[in-house]
A and B are shown apart, each in its own frame.
Chain A
C-alpha cells in the first residue's frame, strides 16, 4: 500500500511541476528552468526545516517565496529572448542552480551528528515527516491539498480576465500589446507564478523523498516539466494532470516489467502520443466528449 501512496504523492508533485511550466506556456514562453526553481524550493525548504527547525507549512511557503523571487529575477533578462533561445537560456539557469547546489556545503551539528547539504553527497536528513510521526496517508493528503489548491487557483484564473490576458499574450504578442496589455508585466508575473508553484513542488518533493542531491534536478526533470503540458495540451489544467498520470503512472510504473529496456519503449510511446494527439491528450474535443458522457455539456 505504501508503494501506491508513494506513487500518488509523486504524481501530485510532478503535477505541480508540470503546472509551473503550464502557466508559462499559456503566455507562449517555454522554460527548461523549472527544474532550477524546483531545486531552489527543495533545498530551501530542507534547510528551513532541518537547520532552522521550522514547521513544515511556513518552511514550504517560504521556500516557494524564495523560488518565486528567483523566478522574478530570471524573468526580466529572460524576457529579451524568445522561443528556442529562451529554452537554452533557462537550461543555462537551471544548470547553474544545479552546479551551485553541487558545490553547496552547509553542515551544522545537531546532537551527535551533522546535518545539512553536503555538496556532492547530497542533502540527506530532511526527516520532518518521520520525526513528527506523519503516516503515509497524511503525507499524501498534505501533498494533494496543495495540488488541488494550485489547480483550483489556475482553473479559476483561466475563467477570469487574467487568464484571457495570459492566453492573449501566448496567441499573439503584437495583438496583445496593441490592445494595451503590458507584455513585461504579464510575462514576469507568469514566470513568478511558475516559480512559486515549482517551489511548492520542490519543497514537497524534498520532504517526501527525505533526500535530495544535485542529480535529481537535471535537464531530464526540466524536460518532464514541459513534456506534461505539451502532452496534456493547454486547453485546461486537467490536461497536465492526465499527462502526469499517463507518464508517471502508466508508462513509468506500468512498463516496469520490461526492466532495463523500459526507457526505449517509453520514448517511443511518448513520441507516438505526441503525433497522434497533436493538441494534447486532453484537448477540447476529449473534454467535450467527457462532458457529454457525464451529462454536463449540451450541444455545442
Chain B
C-alpha cells in the first residue's frame, strides 16, 4: 500500500511536466487544428543552446535558464513561420509533415552544437529529498510540480482575463467569426507559438534538471510524451491536457515499479491505444471530435 501511494505521488510529480508538454500541443491544436511535431525538438534545441554556454563558458545557472527559454521561443517562432504560416491554410497534413522535417533540421543543428552523446545539465536548485512519514519526496520533483502549477495558473489567467486570451479562444471557436471581428489571426498564432514555446521551455528545463543530463533523444521523447498526454486528455482541451499528463505519469510510475523498466514506455502506448479505442475523444474531449473532422476534411 505504501509503495502504491509512493508511486502515485511520484507519478503525479513527474506527470505535471507531461501536462506542460501536453499544453503545448493542445493550444496549437486548439487554435490551428494542426499538430506541431517539432515541439520536442524545439525545446531540445533551446536547452542545447543553454547547455552549450554551460559547457564552454561555465556561465551561471540562471543564464542557462534564460538562454534555454529565449532560444526555445526563437526556435518556436522559426517553426511557426516555416511550417504553419507558410503552408496553405487548408493543408493541415503538409504542416505536420513539414514540422517533422524541421525536427530533423533542429536535431542536426543541436548535434552540431554539442556532438557528444550526453551532457550534464545544470540544476537550478540543489534540493535534497525529505521524508514525510513513510514517503520520500524529492526536492526537484516538488519544484517541478510547483512550476507546473504556477504555469497553469498563469495560463488560465492569460486565457480568461486578457484581450489576447479572448482573441485566442475566439479563433479556436471559429476562425471565420474571429476574422469578422477584426482579430489578426496570423499575429495571434505567432504569439501562441511563442507562448507554448515558453511553456515547453519551462517544462523541458524542469525535466532536464531532474534528469541532470541531456541527450539528442530528448526531442523525440518530449514530443511523444506530450502527444500521448494530450490524446489521453482530449485534443484541444486545456484541463484535459493536465489530466492526461498526470494520468500518464501515474500509469508509467506504476508500470515501472510493478513490471520493470522496459514496460514503462510500452504501458504508455498501450494506455493510449486503449483510450482511443474505448473513448476516442480522450477523457475530456468528446465535443471536439466533430470539429476536428471538419478541419481534416481537406488534407
A interface, CB within 8 angstroms of B? 28, 30, 77-78, 80-85, 87-89, 91-93, 95-96, 99, 102-103, 218-220, 223, 226-227, 230, 260-261, 263-264, 266-268, 270-271, 274-275, 278
Known A-B contacts A91-B227, A99-B266, A223-B100; the reply to A275 vs B86 at CB < 8 A is yes
- Residue contact B105 to A84, C-beta cutoff 8 Å: no
- List, in ascending order, chain A residues with CB within 8 A of B97's CB: 223, 226-227, 230, 270, 274
- Residue contact A278 to B292, C-beta cutoff 8 Å: no
- Residue contact A92 to B96, C-beta cutoff 8 Å: no
B5 CB–A CB distance under 8 Å: no
- Residue contact A89 to B96, C-beta cutoff 8 Å: no
B45 CB–A CB distance under 8 Å: no
- Residue contact A87 to B277, C-beta cutoff 8 Å: no
B108 CB–A CB distance under 8 Å: yes
Known A-B contacts A275-B86, A278-B88, A278-B91; the reply to A80 vs B277 at CB < 8 A is yes
Distance between A40 CB and nearest chain B CB, rounded to angstroms: 15
- Residue contact B269 to A230, C-beta cutoff 8 Å: no
A89 to B88, CA, bound (A): 25
B205 CB–A CB distance under 8 Å: no
Distance between B27 CB and nearest chain A CB, rounded to angstroms: 15
- List, in ascending order, chain B residues with CB within 8 A of A99's CB: 262, 265-266, 269
- Residue contact A267 to B102, C-beta cutoff 8 Å: yes
A92 to B280, CA, bound (A): 14
Chain B residue with the shortest CB-CB distance to A272: B86
Distance between B191 CB and nearest chain A CB, rounded to angstroms: 23
- Residue contact B272 to A88, C-beta cutoff 8 Å: yes
Tell which of A83, A87, A95, A230 touches B94, judged by Cβ atoms closer than 8 Å.
A230
A215 to B93, CA, bound (A): 25
Distance between B127 CB and nearest chain A CB, rounded to angstroms: 33
Tell which of B82, B98, B107, B235 touches A84, judged by Cβ atoms closer than 8 Å.
B235
- List, in ascending order, chain A residues with CB within 8 A of B112's CB: 260
- Residue contact A85 to B292, C-beta cutoff 8 Å: yes
Tell which of A77, A220, A264, A266 touches B277, judged by Cβ atoms closer than 8 Å.
A77
Identify 27 residue pairs between A and B in the complex whose beta-carbon atoms are under 8 Å apart, listed by A's number: A30-B93, A82-B292, A83-B292, A84-B29, A84-B96, A88-B272, A89-B276, A92-B228, A92-B273, A95-B269, A96-B266, A96-B270, A99-B265, A99-B269, A103-B262, A219-B100, A227-B101, A260-B108, A260-B112, A263-B108, A267-B101, A267-B102, A267-B104, A271-B87, A271-B98, A275-B87, A278-B88
